Amino acid sequence: MRRLNRKKTLNLMKELDAFPKVPESYVETSASGGTVSLIAFTTIAFLTIMEFMVYRDTWMKYEYEVDKDFTSKLRINIDITVAMRCQYVGADVLDLAETMVASADGLIYEPVIFELTPQQKELQRMLQLIQSRLQEEHSLQDVIFKSAFKSASTALPPREDNSLQSPDACRIHGHLYVNKVAGNFHITVGKAIPHPRGHAHLAALVSHESYNFSHRIDHLSFGELIPGIINPLDGTEKIASDHNQMFQYFITVVPTKLHTYKISAETHQFSVTERERVINHAAGSHGVSGIFMKYDISSLMVTVTEEHMPFWQFLVRLCGIIGGIFSTTGILHGVGRFVAEIIFCRFRLGSYRSTSVPLPDGHTSNHLPLNTENSTH
């Protein structure tokens, strides 16, 4: 009884077989079919490798939403070298709420030599080259996001020449925490002092001949400090053509949440517009000599997420490639074989066309003579 049920089950499964087997004695092979099969297998192998490379790759997805965080502090990371002695310059931040953040809260004034060593110049040129390529190819920013924390820091290496030259510049580096409102970070002559109506700088004790706001921005970023991220002003160098010169940077800061397979951090991207002019009150160009970075916080927040192709989608695409190539090559081979048979049949019919044979009574016969063994004798 069990054998009978098992036999019925096997017969039922055979009827459901969607892939019937053809005996090998009934299958006819040809050289053209083998050639087409070889081309099909080669194409499948090539496209499979390419599809696997696409599966391994990742891409960055950008999403936008309103930034609802107004209470937290904004961190500003600064590394700027000014071609003046440290006792002559002062740096601080003043925001729209007239809240002053002094540089003593997190910045370090370090006497240095403004001229770079050959090794430092090479790194700066490389950084400027990357900046120029980023302005032309915006998609390179995705590569930088993926390689965050894996790339080397963009800070200049320390001097190794042990020069006996006395320091002629001041490196201002460190970080400050400010309110998330528009503000102005500036470096100008004299140390900053509190003032009931804002703030002021002790510039009266510094002669105008010593003014030199040539500067180099080795690093400027907002938010969490992430090694490997290149910001728009990194590597910037400006040489002042006059003692009373003002450099202005208008910065728009966009809060950014970065989620990749390597890191998850909250940072800020920014765009910048530069302007510089000489202060000349007689010509109507008013202002204060120095370096001014006026920043504004965008109300939108960008979430950058690294995404990967799901494995099931990779399998679907792979099956589509294999099945599509097999079906397409089979159809093309069948059509080509059909056309070839038609052409060969015409040639064969042409070779068997009737010829005229004269008869004894003067008539002609259009039939081909029958060649037999008796007719040859």
More confident residue, 254 or 152: 254
Residue 367 tokens read as 């039939």
Q: Are 116 and 160 within 8 A, CB to CB?
A: no
Structure tokens at 292: 């001014």
The answer to whether the Cα torsion of 48, 49, 55, 58 is positive or negative is negative
Matching residue, tokens 């010509």: 283
Cα 358 from Cα 164, distance rounded (Å): 121
Tell me what percent of the residues of the chain surpass a pLDDT of 90. 13
- Give mean pLDDT, residues 346-355: 59
**CA dist 300 to 191, 235, 256, 290, Å?**
35, 27, 9, 31
What is the reported pLDDT for 198? Answer: 62
Instruction: Give yes or no for residue 154 having a pLDDT over 70.
Output: no
How confident is the model at residue 377, as a pLDDT?
Answer: 42
Neighbouring C-beta atoms of residue 105, cutoff 10 Å: 13
| Chain segment 225-238, per-residue pLDDT in tens | 887 788 888 889 99
What average pLDDT does this structure show over 349-375? 52
Model confidence pLDDT, tens digit, residues 247-295: 999 999 999 888 888 778 888 888 899 999 888 877 777 888 899 999 9
Polymer length of the chain? 377
Distance CA 333, CA 325 (A): 12
Q: What's the pLDDT at 216?
A: 92
pLDDT at residue number 308: 84
> What's the predicted TM-score (pTM) here?
0.69
Round to whole Å and give the CA distance between 342 and 236: 74
Helices (H) and strands (E) in the chain, counts: 5, 17
Q: Please check whether residue 157 is in contact with residue 268, taking contact to mean a CB–CB distance below 8 angstroms.
A: no
